[in-house]
Amino acid sequence: MLRGPINRRTFTSGALASLVSAGSIEQVAAQEATPSTDRPAIAEIPDPIALGMMVEVVEDRTRLDLTTQMVGRNLAIVMFHSHWGANSGAFDVGLLEYIDATGAVPLVTWEAWRPLYAGGVAVADQPVFGLKNLVAGEFDPFIESWAFGLAAYGKPVMLRFGHEMNGDWYPWAVGVNGNTAEDFVAAWRYIHDIFKAAGASNVAWVWSPIAGSATPSRQVNLVIEDVYPGDEYVDWIGMSGFNFGTTQQPWGVAGWETFSQIFFASYTRIGAIADKPIVIAETASTEEGGDKPAWITSTFSTELPERFPNVRAVVWFNIIKETDWRVESSPESLRAFVAQASSPYLQGTLDLA
C-alpha cells in the first residue's frame, strides 16, 4: 500500500476461516444483510474512516470546489476515471497536484478501454484492449508514461486498475475478449512490475471487484479468488455496489437494497482472501423505490461502523449515470449526507506514507 501502517481492527480472521471451512458464509451473510432494530449500541467509538467522492474533475476541475462547498468540508479521497483509449487518459500531473492541494488523495480508476455505450450498457467488445495484448507489450509506452509520471510526482496515489473484473461489461473482464482469470492476474502483475521498475513506490494498488448482489443478472460465473493477483501485488481491496431500487435498467430491476444487503456477502468472502484494508470505491443510492435520506443515514451511522470494521474508506459515486446517484438528487438527501459527512466517524485520513 504505500506500505505505511493502517490503523484498523482485525476482522476476526480465525472465526472467518472457520466460516469458510464450514461453508456457512452465505448463512452469515443472510443473517447480517438485513439491519436489525434491536442491536445494542456500539460499545466503543469506531475508528474513523476516510470519506471520498467521485467527482468529474477530468472534465472540469471546478466541480471539486463546488462539491466541497456543497457538502461543507474537504474530502479525504477524490476519485476520477481515466480512460486509456481517450484523450482523458493522458497522464496529467497538474490534476493530481490540484487534488492534493485540497488535502485529498487521488484515487484513479484506470480503465483500459475506449468508453462506449449502447442502450445504456458499456460496450465490452473491444478486442484491442484484450488482456493478452496488454501482456504482449502493446500498451507499454502508455503504461510507462503513467509509471514514470507517478514516480516523479512522488505523493500518494491510489490506482484502481481493471475494476469490476467479475462483471461482463468491460473489455478487461474475465470471459470478455477471450480473457481468462489467468490473463487478468498476468496483466495485473505485468503492469505492477512496470511501475515497480519505474520507482513508483508511492502508488497504492486497489484490486476492486463488484459486490455480488449489485447487478445479479450480470455477474460472471467465476471464482473470485482466481483473479486475486496476490498479496505482494495488492495494497487495498476495493468494492463497488449500488442500490438501484426500482429503476429500470437494461438488465432488469434489482429492487431496493440496504448497504449491507449489497456488500456484506462480498465483504465476508474478500476477508477470507486477504487481510487488506478495504475501500468502498463506488457506492450510492437512487431515490426511486425507497427512502434515500434514510439509506444514507443508515449506511454511515449504523451499518458501516457496526458490520464492516475492515472498511477504512468509502467513496460516494456522485454523478448522474444509470440514475441520479448524486447526494444532491433531492434537498433531503443532501441534508442527510451533509449531516453524516460532519460526523466524527467520517473524519478519518489515509496514512499512505
Residue 13: its pLDDT value, please? 30
Confidence of residue 11 (pLDDT cuts 50, 70, 90): very low
Residue 168, pLDDT above cutoff 50: yes
Domain-located, residue 35:
no
Domain-located, residue 38:
no
Domain-located, residue 297:
yes
Q: How far apart are CA 272 and CA 268, in angstroms?
A: 7
More confident residue, 351 or 235: 235
Give pLDDT tens digits for 235-283. Answer: 999 999 999 999 988 878 889 999 999 999 999 998 899 999 999 999 9
Average pLDDT over residues 89-110: 96
Q: What are phi and psi of 187, to 5 degrees?
A: -65, -45
More confident residue, 250 or 340: 340
Give pLDDT tens digits for 37-75. Answer: 333 344 466 899 999 999 999 989 999 999 999 999 999
Domain-located, residue 37:
no
Domain around 269 = 13-29+43-346
Average pLDDT over residues 329-340: 98
Q: How far apart are CA 239 and CA 259, in angstroms?
A: 12
Give pLDDT tens digits for 143-154. Answer: 999 999 999 999
- Residue 37's contacts (CB-CB under 8 Å, 6 or more residues apart) are none
Q: What is the CATH number of the domain that holds 24?
A: 3.20.20.80
Task: Give the β-pairing of 117-118 and 121-122.
Answer: antiparallel
More confident residue, 14 or 155: 155
Residue 38: its pLDDT value, please? 38
Domain-located, residue 2:
no
**Contact (CB, 8 A) for 128 and 179:** no
Q: How far apart are CA 275 and CA 100, in angstroms?
A: 28
Residue 86: its pLDDT value, please? 81
Domain-located, residue 60:
yes
Q: Which residues of 13-29 are buried (b: 16+ CB within 10 A; e: fewer)?
A: eeebeebeeeeebeebb
Number of separate domains in the chain? 1
pTM of the predicted structure, to 2 decimals: 0.85
Residue 2, pLDDT above cutoff 90: no
Residue 25, pLDDT above cutoff 70: no
Confidence of residue 27 (pLDDT cuts 50, 70, 90): very low
Q: How far apart are CA 265 and CA 267, in angstroms?
A: 5
Residue 110: its pLDDT value, please? 97
Domain-located, residue 6:
no
Q: How far apart are CA 157 and CA 140, in angstroms?
A: 20
Helix (H) or strand (E) holding 83: strand 77-83
Residue 116: its pLDDT value, please? 87
